[in-house]
């Protein structure tokens, strides 16, 4: 059976689109006709990449990955990123390999994490709208999330289309944001949850140094512009911080209105791939003290920085 992609949601019709009645392809596509645990042909890899460019999020069901097959599949799409949770944890505290982001509520012994476990508190950051690894100078391209165990209730993942959100801005706002550069750090998103820098340990300080990103990105293949927003943003270069935060919050509220959002309801063995360059996402709440939710994420590194970085003082 050949690979088939069906849009799961209608495209947004907005002021950025030409002509009445125009409906875009929808930004979430449901894919069938492929077993991703088997080696892929170059044609299949190209078809998935084309689907990612056309949509931005792809959903595949019944993909029975283990970590090795997920890693092998992911390497078709570029260089893997080491997960920040992995980097900032001690080897003996890790449940998964360092290339696998542990998106679960389990500790290294496979038990539910204790309520005050630092990893549990950091994982709560995923409930804020974000783009993965936007706090790195070279941020993430694709994230690939494989569902192994799903709770009975809650724990959906929501996605927001930052191309449609950009298109729907008025011309004056588009012109205003075009040259802007933002500063991103994991410390800013954690601060929103009340986690303080001194809570991470001195060895992780350099990983929290803010990096610069363009606020408006251009997709390298489609040429479409998108808003590059994330909970990791702490300020806009050259702006007073409170003014920057108020404006970024306003843009994020705009960009996450229902017409730009799709909620994915997980089934075990779903694989969802999203393009971090053109979308934001967030986890929704579930009973993480009583139910297991276990997903494994691989992440593909982006092609390069989106803005010039500030040289690090010696
Ligand atoms: C992620 C993430 C959301 C979720 O894996 O990067 O933000 O629903 N996950 O677990
Ligand atoms: Mn994420």
Q: Do the domain assignments include residue 93? A: yes
Nearest to 293 by CA among 51, 105, 71: 105
Provide Rg for the chain, Cα atoms: 19
Write out pLDDT tens, residues 48-74: 999 999 999 999 999 999 999 999 999
At 122, the pLDDT band (50, 70, 90 cuts) reads confident
Does 294 contact ligand 1 (Cβ within 6 A)? Answer: no
Closest residue by Cα to atom 6, ligand 1, is 132
Q: Do the domain assignments include residue 150? A: yes
At 165, the pLDDT band (50, 70, 90 cuts) reads very high
* For residues 169-189, average pLDDT: 96
Q: Do the domain assignments include residue 13? A: yes
Q: Do the domain assignments include residue 109? A: yes
* For residues 7-20, average pLDDT: 57
Identify the nearest ligand to the CA of 288 by its number: 1
Query: What total number of domains does the chain contain?
Result: 1
Q: Do the domain assignments include residue 307? A: no
Q: Do the domain assignments include residue 314? A: no
- CB 38, CB 63: distance < 8 Å: no
- CB 7, CB 28: distance < 8 Å: yes
Determine if the pTM surpasses 0.75: yes
- CB 287, CB 151: distance < 8 Å: yes
Write out pLDDT tens, residues 197-246: 777 776 677 778 999 999 999 999 999 999 999 999 999 999 999 999 99
Does 165 contact ligand 1 (Cβ within 6 A)? Answer: no
Q: How far is the CA of 279 from the centre of ligand 1 (A)?
A: 13
Domain span at 95: 4-301
Identify the nearest ligand to the CA of 131 by its number: 2
Residue with tokens 């990449």: 49
* For residues 287-297, average pLDDT: 97
Q: Do the domain assignments include residue 186? A: yes
Q: Which two tokens stand for residue 80?
A: 């893997």
Can you give the CATH number for the domain in which 101 is found?
3.60.130.10
At 34, the pLDDT band (50, 70, 90 cuts) reads very high
3-state secondary structure 97-150: CCCCEEEECECCCCCECCCCCHHHHHHHHHHCCECCCCCCCCCEEEEEEEEEEC
Tell me what pLDDT residue 13 has.
54
At 16, the pLDDT band (50, 70, 90 cuts) reads very low
Q: Do the domain assignments include residue 152? A: yes
Does 235 contact ligand 1 (Cβ within 6 A)? Answer: no
Query: Which ranges constitute the DSSP H helices of the chain?
Result: 42-54, 67-74, 84-87, 118-123, 162-167, 171-177, 186-192, 241-255
């Amino acid at each position: 059976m050949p690979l088939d992609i069906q849009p799961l949601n209608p495209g947004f019709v907005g002021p950025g689109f030409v002509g009445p009645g125009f409906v875009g392809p929808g930004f979430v596509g449901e894919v069938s006709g492929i077993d991703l645990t088997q080696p892929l042909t170059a044609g299949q890899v190209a078809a998935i990449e084309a689907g990612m460019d056309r949509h931005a999020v792809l959903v595949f069901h019944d993909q029975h990955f283990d970590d090795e097959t997920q890693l092998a599949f992911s390497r078709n799409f570029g260089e893997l990123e080491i997960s920040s949770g992995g980097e900032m944890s001690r080897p003996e505290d890790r449940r998964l390999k360092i290339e696998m982001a542990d998106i679960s509520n389990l500790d290294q012994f496979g038990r539910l994490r204790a309520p005050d476990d630092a990893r549990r508190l950091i994982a709560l950051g995923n409930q804020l709208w974000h783009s993965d690894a936007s706090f790195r100078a070279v941020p993430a391209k694709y994230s690939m999330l494989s569902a192994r165990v799903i709770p009975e209730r809650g724990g959906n993942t929501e996605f927001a289309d930052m191309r449609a959100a950009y298109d729907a801005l008025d011309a004056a706002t588009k012109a205003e944001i075009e040259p802007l550069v933002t500063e991103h750090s994991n410390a800013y998103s954690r601060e929103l949850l009340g986690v303080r820098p001194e809570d991470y340990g001195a060895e992780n300080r350099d990983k929290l140094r803010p990096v610069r990103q363009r606020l408006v990105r251009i997709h390298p293949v489609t040429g479409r512009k998108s808003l590059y927003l994330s909970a990791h943003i702490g300020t806009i270069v050259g702006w007073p911080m409170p003014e920057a935060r108020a404006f970024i919050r306003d843009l994020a509220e705009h960009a996450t209105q229902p017409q730009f959002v799709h909620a994915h309801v997980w089934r075990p063995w779903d694989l969802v791939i999203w393009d971090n360059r053109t979308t934001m996402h967030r986890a929704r709440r579930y009973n993480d003290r009583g139910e297991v939710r276990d997903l494994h994420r691989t992440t593909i590194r982006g092609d390069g920085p989106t803005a010039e970085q500030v040289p690090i003082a010696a």
